[in-house]
Amino acid sequence: MVQPPRVSQPDAHQYIETAEQLDQFIQDNQNITWLGFDTEFIHEKRFYPQLCLIQVITELGMYILDPLVLPKLDPFLALIENPEILKITHAGENDYRILNSLYGTYPQNLFDTQIAAGFLTHTYPIGFQKLVESEFDVTLNKSFSVTDWQARPMRPQQITYALNDVLYLPELWQRMTAQLKQLDRLHWCQEEVAKFTTTEYYAGDTQLDLFKRTLNTQLTPQERIFLVRLMDWRLEEAKRRNVTQDMVLPKKTMMMVAKGIAQGQSHLRQNRLISDKLIQSYSKLWNQLFKTDMTDDEQALFDQMPQWQEDTPEQVISSEFLYLLVRDRCFKAGMAHTIVLSKSAFRNQNQSLNSGWRKELLGDSLIGWIQSQQQVVFEVQDDCCVVKFMD
């Protein structure tokens, strides 16, 4: 097994800030079979994050790439897309999303220590600091997690913090791979991280997705169509201005606008939580979005959506019980139930249980119960409780 480099001092790395240095890094590492990496970025008040730093570890050493001054990152991005090189990350989803949104990168051949931990412990998601502490009995300094990564020159403490985020990745990968193999779960982990390699994963919400998000809004059909259009406009405006969507229109305000738009601008002005500036700037546009006739495509999507109905107490109890069975199955398997499916997503996304490692873990019987929509009834009899499924 490949041994990771042993680096303990912040000066034991190469700082790459020129095209020539990047080319030399690529040449030196042309035969590597794995690399670990992490990114530092700033996302406050931006739609597109500012990538400030890339930390890399390979069997040859540690490196810091400076995207703020490098003319291009294409040689490094080619490594991320190279299926012959394993990429090791912790909570790498954010890193991959940033590289995809900024450069259109689709990573290949991945291992994520946070996801691996979900198959090996009861905790998911687990922070990198806590994972390192549990595995190596080392306490990492996290005081620089909100430091200004755009500032140059970088301070030695910043560099140490940044390098620590990749220093332990190779050995974590080795340890966790061995444990996953022993439990016959390595293919589970590989299946779960494979979603980060697909173009579908990075695609934005479709209009169908937006319609689904309006299911439990208790709006009229016309108001729901308007809310979908409002969400779409908000997203595109945020992209155009490179600001967060909440800076265009706060999420909590969006629903207020959807519920009040039919009653006109004067009604919106009476709502003290909707700013006069927003109304003055966008009320005419909002009114146009509201009054525009439904398109054929919108009608087709709208017809696919079921009418929202509030769950009955019996349905809530049944869902709680079935999710408890999922938790019990995961507890006995020594893994985190939250990696299977979060509680909030349980009722709406249980179709994802039909295949892959989730089906292997839960089994056909339990999945059948979950998807049967039958009501669960409990009968207490002396020292036992009888559970029945009723039509």
Q: pLDDT tens digit string along 119-155?
A: 999 999 999 999 999 999 999 887 777 789 999 999 9
Instruction: Find, among 139, 159, 131, the residue nearest to 147 by Cα.
Output: 159
Architecture of domain 207-304: Orthogonal Bundle (1.10)
What is the average pLDDT value for the chain, to the nearest integer? 92
- pLDDT tens digits, residue range 169-209? 999 999 999 999 999 999 999 999 999 999 999 998 888 89
Q: Report the C-alpha gap between 13 and 64 in whole angstroms.
A: 7
Local structure of residue 41 (DSSP, 8 states): E
Reply yes or no on whether the pLDDT at 10 is more than 50.
no
Question: For position 96, what pLDDT does the model report?
Answer: 98
Percentage of residues in the chain with pLDDT exceeding 90? 75
Mean pLDDT of all residues in 268-289: 95
pLDDT band at 11 (very low <50, low <70, confident <90, very high): low
Task: Report helix angle 113-120 to 128-136, nearest 10.
Answer: 60
Cα separations (Å) of 328 from 144, 257, 332, 340, 361? 38, 43, 6, 12, 12
Q: Report the C-alpha gap between 16 and 79 in whole angstroms.
A: 16
Give every CB contact of residue 384 below 8 A, 6+ residues apart in sequence: none
φ/ψ of residue 375, rounded to 5: -80, 135
Residue with tokens 């979603």: 195
Q: Considering the entire predicted model, what is its pTM?
A: 0.92
Local structure of residue 350 (DSSP, 8 states): G
Q: Report the C-alpha gap between 353 and 355 in whole angstroms.
A: 6
Architecture of domain 14-202: 2-Layer Sandwich (3.30)
Q: Where are the domains of the chain?
A: 14-202, 207-304, 313-390
The answer to whether 105 and 197 are in contact (CB under 8 A) is: no
- pLDDT tens digits, residue range 348-358? 655 688 889 99
Residue with tokens 């990152």: 73
Of the listed ranges 115-119, 286-290, 374-378, the least confidently predicted one is: 374-378
